[in-house]
Each structure stands twice: as C-alpha cells, then as structure tokens.
Amino acid sequence: MTFWNILIILARGAGYTILVTLASISAGLAVGLLLAVLGTMQHKAVKLFLAAYTYIFRGLPVLVLLFIVFFGLPGIGIRISPFVSMVLSLGLISGAYLAEVFRGAIAAVDRDEILAAEAMGMNRAEIFLYITMPQMFRMSVPGMINEFTSILKYTPFAYTVGIPEIMKEAMSLAAITLRGLEIYLAVGIIYFIIYKLFVLLFMALEKRFRIPGLAPE
Amino acid sequence: MALIEVKNLVKTFDGKAVLQGINLELSEGQSKVLMGASGCGKSTLLRCLNLLLSPSSGQIIFKGEDITRPKVDIRKIREDIGFVFQDFALYRHLTVEENATLGLRKLKKMKMKEAVEKATYELERVGMFEHRNKYPAQLSGGQKQRAAIVRALAMDPAVLFLDEPTSSLDPQMSREVVNVINKLFLDNITMLCVTHDAFLAKYISDTIVFIDEGVVVAEDIAERLFYESADPRIKQFFMSVIDHR
C-alpha cells in the first residue's frame, strides 16, 4: 500500500469531517447570533444568563461536553445520535465564542447610524436587521474565520462517538497495517488541505462582500 | 394652520432645564434657522421635535396632532420628518442609492423599481446621481452630506430637519452643501435648521430664531437680526459668527 493509497482511503472520511464542520459552523452561527441579539437587550436577567453561558461554555472542553451529551444524557432517557451530539456540542461551545466576536462587532457599529435609523422611523428589530447585522457580519469575518477553523480542528473528536470521519478511518487502517506514522501524517495532510480550502472559501466570500471603509482591506 | 407648533416646551437633563419653555411655529413651505451659542438648546429642541428625546413638558403639535401625548405612533411621525445629521450618519454598508432607498423599501414598502426612481430624482436634484453606486467611505464630506440630504428627502417628509449640516465640512465643501440647501429653500421645502453658519442661515431661511439659555429670544429675518438687533446677546453672538471680511 503506497502513501497515495493511504491518502485516498482516508479521503473517504473527509466527507464526514466536512459535513460535521459545516453543520457545527451553522449551529455555532445560530447560537452565536441568538446570544448576540440577546446581548443587545438591557434586561438584567438576560445579561446574567449570557454571562453564565459564556463563562460555562468557554470553559468546558469539547470532548467533555460531547461525552455529557452522548454518554451522559441517555442516563436520564435522552438519546441523541452521534452526529447530532457532535454538532450540538461544537455548536454550543463555538456559539459562546462567536457571540463574543459578534458583540465586539456590534459595539463597533456607529451610534450615529443607529440614531439616523431611529430618526427615519425604524424600530429596534428593523435597526438590527438592516443596519447592525449586515455590518456586524462583515466586521466579524476575521474572528469568524478563526472560530470556523477551530471547529474544523475539533472534528477529530467525532471518532469517539463512532462517526466514520478521517480519524476513525485512520485508526482502523493503522490497526490493520501497523503503519501509524504514514497514516497519521496523511491525516495531517488531509486536514491541512481541508483547512486551506475553508480559508480560501471564506477569504473569497469576504472579498466578494467587502465594503470600502467598513473592514480592514 | 402651522405644520409644527411648539408650546412651552421644556426639556431637563438631571434636573437642569436645557429648554425652558420654547414657543415656536413653522408653517408649510417655510424655512427657519435656529441659532444661538453652543449649549443653548438648539439641537436638543430639534431632537425633541421628532421625539428622539422625550420632552419633559409642553406640547408639540405636528400636522394638528399633539405628538407628546402617550401612545402616539412615533414611527409614522418620524417617517414624516427628514433628519440630516452633522456627521452625516450614512449607513456605511450601503451605497448612496441604497441609503436613499432603504427607508422607502423597508418602511414605506415601496417596490425596488419605484424606490430607485424616487431616489434617482432626489440624487439628480442635489447633483449626486453619478455617485449613486459609491459607498460613504468613497465620498468627500460635502458629497456625504448631500447623500444624507437625499436619504432624508427620498422619504418625502413634510419637514426637513438639519442639525449643523455644514459644521463638519471645510469651507469649500460647506459652500457645496449651502448651495444644495439653498436650492431646497427656493423649492419651498419646509425646513428647520440648526447652525452656527451665518452664511448658510442667510441663504436658506425665511426667518432666524435666536435661542439663548433654552428660550426663544428673538425671531426675525437674517439682515435685521444680524445687523440691527439691540439685544446685546444677539449682537455679541453675530459679531462672533459673521465673517466681516
């Protein structure tokens, strides 16, 4: 078996890696956006909830949360599939980080623009939808790319709950062939290629939607 | 009947009265300029009039309706009052044309084509049509303020409020904006403008309202107020703001 053959076999697992990454990014964005919207509210209880959420989920390792969700919850009768467990765990944790990225971007939106929108007759929801959110996303691009690549790098944990992604394929192959060095090197190369493709995709999107004067060029 | 009638308007901040019983009338087609020393309450008055600030007491009658009463539809009133800010406050993520059409599409629920037609009319009116696809960061100060005027006019407001529209601009750009506002004045657009710029005030006003310490001290045409007032506060103010060269 050549190194090239090893790469091809492992690449089969890449589909799951990409799927878990994209689904976790979507979950993280949804959670992060929800937390960012809640963060614009002045209610004390909401602020307390956000502070607690961020404190807990930023301090919790992905693997621990994954084990709580996949192995722990069945103890109280809640059974969640491996894929959903992985996406949920990564989504909840990356959502806490993304919320911080969004919070910073929201704070950078010019107060005068908000005032102008109010003066025009927009309500809070319209101001968020048409003024704050479009600027927030554009200004969050560097932070989002950072977080998305972190999500990609956490996907190998998916093998611990039985998802047949690259790492699981690699471990099976290593057990059969005993060529661990080449196999895990191939895993590294595949991850690097996926990482590079993701970054290129995000950069292209950022370039496509770049607005003069709004984000660093 | 006046378009806007202000009766004994008071606004206090932390117990300090910034507006101490303002009385003012603005009729349709009329243009008035509010002048006075910094901190006299001009901008506060403008922001109270479209309820960006809540008045502490007094009445504001807009189109015959008391807009200071509870449960008034603030949104409808604000849609009817165009507001131009000192620092332009253009939406940075939108082009000039998108800035002008946003309110039409999202608030007035106008179709895109119709909104663009309306925006185009206003862009041409202030000489900004060729810049319609530029973002605010790609414009000069004067162009930004003209774009802000287009955004306000596109909504077809009953009145246009201008808060220090030239004070962030250098003299050349300021002149550019004065010409545009003067054109609106000649088109009988109803305007209420706050400024320290005597040149602007002279060319865009029917009368100038002089405010001192939160009350209206005098209201007259520019020439008389600038050069013939006997009130020492008014004399001193215009001595400092009028370029006597």
User: Nearest-CA residue of chain A relative to B53?
Assistant: A119
Indicate the residue type of A120.
Answer: M
How sure is the predictor about A22, in pLDDT bands with cuts at 50, 70 and 90? very high
Nearest 5°: phi and psi at B81?
A: -125, 110
How sure is the predictor about A169, in pLDDT bands with cuts at 50, 70 and 90? confident
ipTM: 0.90
Residue A122 contacts B where some CB pair is shorter than 8 Å:
yes
User: Helix, strand, coil proportions of chain B in percent (round to 5)?
Assistant: 40, 25, 35
Is residue B153 predicted with pLDDT exceeding 90?
A: yes
* pLDDT tens-digit readout, B71-102: 899 988 999 999 999 999 999 999 999 999 99
Which residues does residue B19 pair with via DSSP β-bridges, in sequence order?
B11
Domain ranges of chain B: 1-78+206-245
Taking the CA of residue A108 and the nearest CA in chain B, the distance in Å comes to 12
Indicate the residue type of A159.
Answer: Y
Per-residue pLDDT, B137: 94
Indicate the residue type of B161.
Answer: F
Neighbour-count burial of A131, counting CB atoms closer than 10 A to its CB (0-12 exposed, 13-18 middle, 19+ buried): buried
Domain ranges of chain A: 3-208
* CATH C-level class of B1-78+206-245: alpha beta
Per-residue pLDDT, A217: 53
Per-residue pLDDT, B23: 94
Per-residue pLDDT, A216: 57
Hey, are the CB atoms on B137 and A135 less than 8 Å from each other? no
**What is the maximal distance between C-alpha atoms in chain B?**
55
Per-residue pLDDT, B244: 55
Domain A3-208: CATH superfamily, name plus number: MetI-like (1.10.3720.10)
* pLDDT tens-digit readout, B30-75: 999 999 998 899 999 999 999 999 999 999 999 999 999 988 999 8
Taking the CA of residue B194 and the nearest CA in chain A, the distance in Å comes to 16
* pLDDT tens-digit readout, A46-77: 999 999 999 999 999 999 999 999 999 999 99
Token pair belonging to A61 = 């390792």
- Quote the CA–CA distance of A33 and A95 in Å, as a whole number: 8
How sure is the predictor about B242, in pLDDT bands with cuts at 50, 70 and 90? confident
Per-residue pLDDT, B128: 95
Residue A216 contacts B where some CB pair is shorter than 8 Å:
no
Taking the CA of residue B91 and the nearest CA in chain A, the distance in Å comes to 6
Which residues does residue B211 pair with via DSSP β-bridges, in sequence order?
B216
pTM (predicted TM-score): 0.85
> What ranges make up the beta strands (E) of chain A?
none
Among A112, A113, A210, most B C-beta atoms within 10 A, so best to mutate, is: A113
